[in-house]
Amino acid sequence: MSGRYDHLDESDVRVRPSRKGSRPRTKDRPAHEDAVLGVVTAVDRGRYTVRVSDRTVVAMRARELGRSRIVVGDRVGMVGDTSGRPDTLARIVRVEERRTVLRRSADDSDTVERVIVANADQLVVVTALADPEPRERMVDRCLVAAYDAGLDPLLVLTKADLASPVAFLRHYAALDVPSVVTGTVPGAGGDAVDPTALERVRAALLGRTSVLVGHSGVGKSTLVNALVPDAARSTGVVNAVTGRGRHTSTSAVALELAGGGWVVDTPGVRSFGLGHVDPASFVEHFDDLAAGTSGCPRGCSHDEPDCALDAWVDEGHAGPAGAARLESLRRLLRSRTGEDHG
């Protein structure tokens, strides 16, 4: 980003719609000092849907932005017609620095990573307790992706009306991953999410930008529809065949929660390529273990006989949960590789 705006924070930027028909500014004036700021909520074939405080603007990218990608969650500055009226088109002239980036690569050996969501706070891993059976390995991989991206993980366990969460949650006890259990009201049809459970989910998402990921059939759409009843309308994309408000594109879309916060649905994302995750930096997410790695051989995978973490844990430096924490760390590290991409 240009250093020209370093002295500005968001509240300094004047937000006003540009007048219709205003002329392009001359080259030597500060570029786009009157840009209107917004958050990208959807991307579809070169058209960006951008939420400004009280309106939704459709924009295209200005040529001056070059090849850099703009993704859901990006905070952007726009010029041109930012009124949001039908058939108007604004121009995105800058993208603010990203606080976090959630990436995916097509698979573990793929070095081409794509940012899928910018500026998210939380990665919500939606897993059914039954029908389909929970896939621990896929959950592990999502947790690795969350830690790596600097997002807080949250487990949302659906279909508690069909099976108990106790056994599944045991796998995650040592990781201190927060979880919310939800289900539908028995006998009320598959789509009536239990209101008390829904409130717990809502509370966990309030005021934050949360990216939802989950395997097909786990009840992600059911949950999104319950959280954002007008989801279909607000995305403006309704499947012509089913009419059920399914996204026809596979790109992420951000939905605004009543009360504040965003839910980012990622219809096409079932897993994350984790080839870029390095064991040495990953262990830093485990404060109690990271300090014990100073005795490790150079380039230690932390999952080999010479790893110093076994002794560290045996000597009690990581507390009573140390052994379980180390086992969990190693399980997550192993989930990076292998065939099952969930």
Choosing among Zn ion, ligand GTP, none, which partner's interface includes residue 91 (Cβ < 5 to 8 Å by kind)?
none
By CB under 6 A, residue 136 contacts ligand GTP: no
CA-to-CA separations, 33 to 2, 10, 89, in angstroms, rounded? 12, 12, 19
By CB under 6 A, residue 191 contacts ligand GTP: yes
By CB under 5 A, residue 94 contacts Zn ion: no
Closest CA to 285 of 135, 110, 144: 144
CA-to-CA separations, 339 to 87, 129, 162, 215, in angstroms, rounded? 47, 23, 29, 16
Q: Which residue is associated with the tokens 């995916």?
A: 104
User: Biggest alpha carbon distance in the chain?
Assistant: 73
3-state secondary structure of 23: coil
By CB under 5 A, residue 300 contacts Zn ion: yes
State the number of binding residues for Zn ion (CB under 5 A): 4
Q: How far is the CB of 176 from Zn ion (least distance, A)?
A: 21
| Structure tokens that stand for 107 in this block | 């698979």
Residue whose CB is less far from ligand GTP, 158 or 235: 158
Residue whose CB is less far from ligand GTP, 101 or 269: 269
Choosing among Zn ion, ligand GTP, none, which partner's interface includes residue 124 (Cβ < 5 to 8 Å by kind)?
none
State the number of binding residues for ligand GTP (CB under 6 A): 16
Residue whose CB is less far from Zn ion, 218 or 307: 307
Contact between 141 and 272 under an 8 Å Cβ cutoff? The reply is yes
Nearest-angstrom CA–CA distance, 56 and 40: 10
By CB under 6 A, residue 161 contacts ligand GTP: yes
Q: Using CB under 6 A, which of 217, 236, 295, 319 touches ligand GTP?
A: 217
Q: Give residues in contact with ligand GTP (CB under 6 A).
A: 158-159, 161-162, 183-184, 190-191, 214, 216-222
